[in-house]
Structure 1
């Protein structure tokens, strides 16, 4: 079990934090979990969570991985960006309220400029979702956000 609460690892707040906990992590991967809340931010009227939210759950798992790595180095948690996903596949349309989901994210590539690729898998009872996520965490996020937008 991870020694840091999930809220200390993600640059999110309140209802936007969808994960419950980090199970474990190392230099290359992370395992997280959550129980689907019927009254969550993205919940349908029946309390289920649409399967497309798996992308956000995977992205938050990667953010938690980055948060864990930052904490190990004694640095603050930084903002990162989901650039996109490839090969998203899920065998269900939604995740029922009360279902426990587990997410595994494995770093397959990361460069010094902050670009990264993670192979992700979400699983639960009779549930399997997989995707490759492209992420970006610039070394100086504050200065990156201050750069003018080119038109």
Structure 2
């Protein structure tokens, strides 16, 4: 388990932080964990978390990966962008309250311009989801955000 608080690793705040902790990471992988709570921002009326939120759980795990890499180098955590996902498959319509989920993300591509691809798997009790996420982290985030849209 990693001692850094999750809020110090991802550029999310408050109720939008969905993952609870980083279990481990290295140069290409990260494993994170969460327990589904009933009163979250994205929960259904019955307290469950819709299955489609699995993409966000994977994206936050990828953000935590980038945060861990930055912290390990002594650099600040930077903002990144989820550009898209391919082939998201989830075998359940929702994640029940109290379910413990583990997310594993493996970086399969990272180019010099900040584009990356991650293969992600989410596991829990009788739960399996997987997807490929495409992400982007510009070199100078502040300058990138100031550029006009064309």
How big is the shift at 1:112?
1.1
Name the SS of the counterpart of 1:145 in structure 2.
helix
What RMSD over aligned residues (CA atoms) do the two structures have, in Å?
A: 0.4
How big is the shift at 1:118?
0.0
Residues matched between the structures, number: 150
Report 1:42-121 matches (<5 A).
Answer: 42-121=42-121
Gaps of 5+ in 1: none
Residues 126-149 of structure 1: per-residue CA shift (max 9 Å, x gap) = 000000000000011110001011
Gaps of 5+ in 2: none
| Cα distance in 1, alignment partners of residues 113 and 80 from structure 2 | 12
Name the SS of the counterpart of 2:105 in structure 1.
strand
| Cα distance in 1, alignment partners of residues 148 and 104 from structure 2 | 36
How big is the shift at 1:36?
0.3
Match of 1:2 in 2: 2
Name the TM-score, length of structure 2 as normaliser: 0.99
| Cα distance in 2, alignment partners of residues 41 and 22 from structure 1 | 21
Q: Deviation above 2 Å: which 4+ runs of structure 1?
A: none
Name the SS of the counterpart of 2:11 in structure 1.
coil
Match of 1:143 in 2: 143
Match of 1:13 in 2: 13
| Cα distance in 2, alignment partners of residues 98 and 3 from structure 1 | 23
Name the TM-score, length of structure 1 as normaliser: 0.98
